[in-house]
Structure 1
Amino acid sequence: MQIPVFLSLVAVAVALPQYGYAPAHYRHAPSYHVNVPANYNYDWAVRDGFFGNDYGHQESRDGYNTQGSYYVQLPDGRLQEVTYYVDGDSGFIANVNYKGQAQYPQPAYRPTPSYHPAPTYG
């Protein structure tokens, strides 16, 4: 019983990193700068002619001022565009616009065949 316990302790000791290892109470916690205002800018877009998908998003932020826009191709053929901004405590202010006319194509009329039961003799 003593040999397996001894071998497992040796295996643990060999697996520990030899350099740079320090107990948890000696490690320094990472410092975060909480008072640094956010600052970013990004955009992306998708245009897929096969399926008719057309959508994208753009946003930029500098401190408490955020502004951006996004758009999406609707199933009725219109393009919906939303521009928005947030400035401090103003909340989310959005402006929604549509481009194009909504189209609802009617399927071609095809009369259904009329079936009559076959006569029975007997």
Structure 2
Amino acid sequence: MTQKAALMMVMVVGVALAAPSDPYGPPPQNGYQSGMPHNFAYTVRDEYAGTNFGHSEDSDGNTVQGTYNVDLPDGRKQTVTYEADHSKGFIADVQYYGEARHPDQYNPPVTFKPQSYGQPQPSYHPQPTYN
């Protein structure tokens, strides 16, 4: 019985040692990988919902520069211009344009009363069949 247990232990240790210790490979030598150059831009303007915002960004692989803007609910426009890299970190300049406007009076929230539809009726009425 002890021979079987010892053999089983040797097999478990052998399987554990045979498995790769790091399936993803060694980490990069400098601690981080250099960035990928990229640039993008988008704008969303929905008159019905009242949304207006956008974002653009450009990177050479080391430094990222960008700006984004949004129309705020109080009527102002917020614009953030930023720059980020590994030595200076993230630096942002936030600007507001326009004057905050608040309504003179607030209306009560819009609510809807629940409707009672009664018991749901099936749209298909199967007829019994007799064999």
TM class by shorter chain equals 0.5 to 0.7
- SS of corresponding position for 2:92: strand
Which residue number in structure 2 is paired with residue 55 of structure 1? 53
Do residues 94 (structure 1) and 92 (structure 2) align? yes
User: TM-score normalised to the size of structure 2?
Assistant: 0.53
RMSD: 2.2
Q: Distance in 2 between matches of 1:46 and 1:39?
A: 24
Q: Deviations over 1:5-60 (max 9, x none)?
A: xxxxxxxxxxxxxxxxxxxxxxxxxxxxx966411000111011112100011001
Q: Which runs of 5+ in 2 are unaligned?
A: 1-31, 108-131
Q: Paired residues, what number?
A: 76
What is the identity percentage for the equivalent residue pairs of Structure 1 and Structure 2? 43
**What CA distance in whole angstroms lies between the structure 2 residues aligned with 1:72 and 1:36?**
31
> Where do 5+ consecutive residues of structure 1 fail to align?
1-33, 110-122
How far 1:99 sits from its partner (Å)? 0.8
Partner Cα separation in structure 2 for residue 36 and residue 92 of structure 1: 17
Alpha-carbon displacement from aligned partner over 1:86-113 (angstroms, at most 9, x marks no partner): 133211000000111000011179xxxx
Please report how far the alpha carbon of residue 75 of structure 1 lies from its aligned counterpart in structure 2 after TM superposition.
0.6
Aligned partner of 2:36: which letter? A
Q: Which residue of 1 aligns with 2:68?
A: 70
Instruction: From the superposition, tell whether residues 66 and 107 of structure 1 become closer, same or farther in structure 2 (CA, over 3 Å).
Output: same
TM-score (norm 1): 0.56
Structure 1 runs (4+) deviating above 2 angstroms are 34-37
